[in-house]
Chain A
Amino acid sequence: MNAPQPSNTVAAEGGRTNREYATFFVDGLFFGIDVLQVQEVLRYQEMTGVPLAPAVIEGLINLRGQIVTAIDMRRRLKLRARAEGETPMNAVVRTKEGAAVSLLVDEIGDVVEVDLETFEPAPDNVNPAARDLLQGVYKLKDRLLLVLDTEKTIDIAASAA
């Protein structure tokens, strides 16, 4: 498998006119990650909390013997906390270095194919916590698809959460 391209230089990609994104919902917002970066999606997993860790880190899960850090996307995007009793789902992404990180999201959506033409940088009025993590927005027919920059999303240390 070739290395996925998380870059936002979509226009520079000659040849391809569309792209596939794995989508999910967080607090009603519709997000997408380049499908090549998503290793797998899982329903809620048993989790072990990590005391003293940044708040956005929900815990550690056992993914077939591999220890995977789970990041709560609600907290990461500074959105409202999940309601009591709602269990998040795991979107496991693979980083450049080959490590796996799980993003905890409300619900997993379909894989959608988007037309590169409909891409636009994130508008300025998007909540700044989220905008920093976005590559841009695709204007789909009925809604907006917010494209996450995976590397930035999982870079907790840099964001000093």
Chain B
Amino acid sequence: MDDQEVIREFLIESNENLARLDQEMVELEKRPKDPQLLASIFRTIHTIKGTCGFLGFASLEAVTHLSENILSQLRDGKREITPELVTLILETVDVVKTIMVGIEANGREGPEAYDELRERLKAASVAASADATGGAPGADAHATSSEADAPAAPKGPSVSDSTIRVDVVLLDKLMNLVGELVLARNQILQFNAHQEDSTLNATSQRLNLITTELQEGVMKTRMQPIGVVWNKLPRVVRDLATSFGKQIRLEMDGADTELDKTIIEAIKDPLTHIVRNCCDHGVEKPEVRIRNGKPAQGTLTLRAFHEGGQVNIEIADDGAGIDVQILKSKAVQLGLIRMEQAERMTDREASALVFLPGFSTAAKVTSVSGRGVGMDVVKTNIEKIGGVVDLVSRLGEGTTLKLKIPLTLAIIPGLVVTLRERRSAPRESEGGGVRYVIPQVSLLELIRLEGDTGKRQIERIHDTPFYRRRGSLLPLVYLADVLKVGRTDDSGVVNIVVLQAEDRQFGLVVDGISDTQEIVVKPLGKQLKSLNCYAGATIMGDGRVALILDVSGIAQLSGVARESRDKAGAEMQRRDHADSERQTFLLFRAGSFERLAVPLSLVARLEEISLSKIEHAGGKRVVQYRGRILQLASLAQLLEPDAVDNAAVQDPAQVVVFNNAERSIGIMVDQILDIVEDHVSIRQTAARQGLLGSAVIGKKVTDLLDLHAVIHAADDGWFASQEAQRASGATVMVAEPSPFVRGLVRTSLEMAGYRVIETDSTHGALQELERHKIDVVLAGLDLPPDNGCGLMQAMRRLPGVAQIPALALIDNAEQAKTCREHPQGFSDYQTKFDRDAMLQSLARLASALGAPEALVPAGGRG
């Protein structure tokens, strides 16, 4: 019962105060004018009065209330202190003590009402107001002595006797000393491992045990039951339930689960916030609950228990649960994620969206929640103390939040890893390397790869190494690289420490893994505070200092997690913007062009074709390929007709195969370099035939191939073969200012069999619309002079043009939002680089026009 807990606290506190009160009253007689003394006495009585009113101890309240009256008169200087008054008040104090002894023994007040004392107190205070010089209040002091004579005899020491208050600073100091002792113990144990002396062995064993016990004991002194935080929640829940018109029952289980004081303080606010959220968003109104076949009263369950050296706290409601679909669409609407991302998300991932900064699904902002700040802060705060938050929700059944929190922050288990020192170091420690400690909470698993086979398991995508861990790619980070100490690459073994940093996993490659130890976390000096890759330092068994790695800091520094959580909001949007232009490119080399790219989506496949298989037909190189004849063309030759053709010399030849509906063409390149996913930044339009322009892809300047021009040059028949059908194929106008984007879109469309007309402005678009019969318009939203919407408005006013469906080409999530909310006459929108989605959307629009046969592209794809 938490009431019991409150009463216990009340008794402990009041007894201390009363003991002081005795002294102070005696002092008061000597220094009757001391205002501080009077104020202190008044405060003590006032506190007791206030608390017992709250706890419902009526006679205690009455007695203290009356003496408080007298004290306030004294304090305000309305009357002089007299020995009689002091006696009366001391007497009151005695009665208060008596009542409290009774409360401690029975949990409630005795039947005695102390009417006589009350009368005299009343008389004394009235006398004061009537006659300030004072009559003779409290005449029969002895008459009350019998009342104090019969306390309910307590058995054994009372609560107030068995506890003392200790300054937290002292506890912290003790904790530090114990930390020292733990280190000294570790040192001795290490030293002892090499000794044969049995007495020493036995003694150090004992030292070990005692230290461990002492450590636990001192840690316990700083422990508080989680109930300390929970106690105020019933009130919070009650108030919230009332204000929302809900019925919520709060159940608490494991309130006596203990946690370190610092942690208790750290979880206080997050916990309250979660509970508020549950009341606000979780539990439904009674009528809704009844309609859904649930009891009108919702239940909020708090559960706490120890598990594996951690404390688990679960907050569960039996409310509506989280509708992941609403969550996803809300997140898309807020521009936090893209639609494609949303579609790919599992329910669990989607649930985690509530932890994104700036996220709130509450339809309206209430005083409690819905302002979009909250769950991200909860997560941040819990993670700050090394905890983990997990959310499980079932639609219609409720939501459970699980917090896993370490017991203490001062002494933590850590994994000791080593890096071989490359610099010549005369003062090398016995392990042959520099040691670092990784907090165990971040540790997921250890992987050891041996020999060449092991090394081969590390793959590279561009410059980033990955390890294939049970089917998914784990990015690898070399600790030596992150810390810039120089990697030593001489052993055949790769040690990977798999770590969890916030919501990401990565593998930290170290030279050696030694063991796990209990380490004492010590802060770094302020000179080093700015280095966020260290969480602190510790002293190892041999007395040397080892740095403790901050796993999130390492992740950030290495680029595995690019942003800190605080900045995640802004960052998410920025990245999202970039994401929308993300595209996968195939990179290759041909002739003097060191780095060429085509969108991978246009590539049918990559082949290696042995030169011996290449035949000549009609003056062209061809190869028999999948039962057909595949024409080959050397890219180097196409781009630089005068240059020497290298591709023809290589065996086997590297061939990139492109398809349209009925024809294939193989473009021979010198070397396939890589496949890179990147967003296209810094573009420059090229003057050279066969190139669209240059862009930075994978951090290097790369020429983008104008596939349309290249294929055209290689095979006149390619587009000619489509000419016949083009008459019946749909004509698409691409209105887009960037020639680069236009080129890419045109290529995609033409390869899919559409006939394409290009223009770069609203004006141009309107002219083309007059000149040609256009079936579908694709317009970039950044179309000059007045963006794509301007074109739409103009189009919709023109007869004969007004009905043409239009597809908006967008760049980012913001534009997506604009399009969704204000379609402006656009029938649909797609990102510029999502070829497949664009073609699908286009096909849909074309067929919706009512003449499907005529409008479906000649190639018949999509």
Interface residues of A (CB under 8 A from B): 46-54, 57, 59-62, 65-69, 71, 97, 99, 101, 154, 156-157
Contact = CB atoms under 8 A, between A and B. Distances in A.
B427 interface: yes
Given A52-B483, A57-B528, A157-B530, A67 B545 contact: yes
A50 B547 contact: yes
B525 interface: yes
Contacts of A47: 427, 545
Contacts of B523: 67
A67 B526 contact: no
Nearest to B525: A69
Given A62-B539, A67-B524, A51 B484 contact: yes
A99 B524 CA distance: 10
Interface string B510-546: 0000000000001111111111011001010001111
22 contacts: A46-B543, A47-B427, A47-B545, A48-B434, A48-B537, A48-B544, A48-B545, A48-B547, A50-B531, A52-B483, A52-B484, A52-B531, A52-B533, A53-B527, A59-B545, A60-B524, A62-B539, A66-B522, A69-B525, A69-B527, A69-B528, A156-B527
A97 B529 CA distance: 15
Interface in B433-453: 434
A52 B547 CA distance: 12
Given A59-B545, A99-B525, A101-B525, 5 more contacts: A48-B544, A60-B524, A61-B545, A62-B539, A67-B522
B437 to A, nearest CB: 12
Contact of B543 (A60, A62, A101): A62
A152 B214 CA distance: 41
A54 B529 CA distance: 11
Contacts of B546: 48
A5 B427 CA distance: 38
Contacts of A101: 525, 527
A50 B528 contact: yes
A90 to B, nearest CB: 14
Contacts of B795: none
A62 B544 contact: yes
A24 B523 CA distance: 29
Question: Top 5 nearest A-B pairs by Cβ distance?
Answer: A51-B483, A69-B525, A48-B545, A156-B527, A60-B545
Nearest to B425: A49
Nearest to B483: A51
Nearest to A71: B527
B527 A67 contact: no
Contacts of B180: 65
Contacts, number: 68
Contact of A65 (B483, B527, B528, B539): B539
Nearest to B176: A65
Interface of B: 179-180, 183, 427, 434, 483-485, 522-531, 533-534, 537, 539, 543-547
A156 B526 CA distance: 9
User: Which of A47, A69, A71 is most buried by chain B, counting CB atoms within 10 A of its CB?
Assistant: A69
A67 B525 contact: yes
A68 B485 CA distance: 22
Contacts of B524: 60, 67, 69
A54 B534 CA distance: 14
Contacts of A68: 525
A46 B183 contact: no
A52 B183 CA distance: 27
Contact of B427 (A46, A67, A69): A46
Nearest to B181: A65
A18 to B, nearest CB: 32
A66 B531 CA distance: 19
A68 B526 CA distance: 10
Contacts of B533: 52
A160 to B, nearest CB: 10
A97 B528 CA distance: 15
Nearest to A54: B527
Contacts of B530: 157
A61 B180 CA distance: 15
Contacts of B434: 48-49
Given A46-B427, A48-B434, A53 B543 contact: no
User: Which of A46, A62, A69, A156 is most buried by chain B, counting CB atoms within 10 A of its CB?
Assistant: A62
Given A47-B427, A48-B434, A53 B525 contact: no
Nearest to A46: B544
Contacts of A157: 526-527, 529-530
A130 B512 CA distance: 42
A57 B537 CA distance: 15
A89 to B, nearest CB: 16
A146 B533 CA distance: 37
A97 B463 CA distance: 46
B525 A65 contact: no
B527 A154 contact: yes
A132 B484 CA distance: 30
A137 B198 CA distance: 60
B518 to A, nearest CB: 15
Contacts of A97: 526
B479 to A, nearest CB: 9
Contacts of B544: 46, 48, 62
Given A52-B483, A52-B484, A65 B526 contact: no
B188 to A, nearest CB: 14
Contacts of A71: 527
User: Which of A46, A48, A54, A61 is most buried by chain B, counting CB atoms within 10 A of its CB?
Assistant: A48
Contacts of B529: 157
A65 B183 contact: yes
B734 to A, nearest CB: 50
Contacts of B427: 46-47
A123 B537 CA distance: 41
Contacts of B525: 67-69, 99, 101
Given A48-B434, A49-B434, A68-B525, A60 B531 contact: no
